[in-house]
Amino acid sequence: MSEDPLWKPPEGSWASSAARRRNMQAIRSRDTKPETLIRRLVHARGLRYRVAARPLPDLRRTADLVFRPAKVAVFIDGCYWHGCPEHYVPPKTNSGYWSEKVVRNVERDRDTDQRLEQAGWLVLRFWEHEPSEACADKIAAAVRRRRAVDGRRI
């Protein structure tokens, strides 16, 4: 990518400018602040998990926290990327591309939920703006319930 002020994105590009491209490429897909905080809180509650793992080996999608024996998959969704009904604001530039991208993300999320549930998994989704303590409490309770039914230790 050029630092040239006359740089124009290629036809059909998602980036409206070189600066926007750099900004968007810097956005993390994992280890976000909400994720790391919730992980720390869940760990402090005595639970162990896999990070950014595939719940189903044949499904090319990862959950933020995976409790394999209990079959619990946790997703902490970003308000922008997953279309939060409270906080999503459509972009002003290149709005067609980004709005469709978010719609595709939401459709993929629903498909992921359905596939995991059909395979016997419990899917927990939280928005990045939800209180981390409350999220950690719900995750811990769900994992402990599933383990108690399965007869495994906490």
- Domains recognised in the chain with CATH numbers: 1-27 (no CATH), 31-150 (3.40.960.10)
pLDDT given for residue 23 in this prediction: 59
Distance of CA 8 to the CA centre of its chain: 31
Segment holding 92, helix H or strand E: none
Looking at the DSSP bridge assignments, the partners of residue 73 are 66, 123
Among 144, 134, 126, CA closest to 63: 126
Strand order in the sheet with 72-77: 50-53, 63-67, 72-77, 122-127
pLDDT in tens, 106-148: 999 999 999 999 999 999 999 999 999 999 999 999 999 999 9
Look up the pTM and report it. Answer: 0.81
Burial 18-33 (b: 16+ CB within 10 A, else e): bebbeeeeeeeeeeee
- pLDDT band of residue 18 (cuts 50, 70, 90) is low
Give the integer Cα–Cα distance in Å for 54 and 74.
11
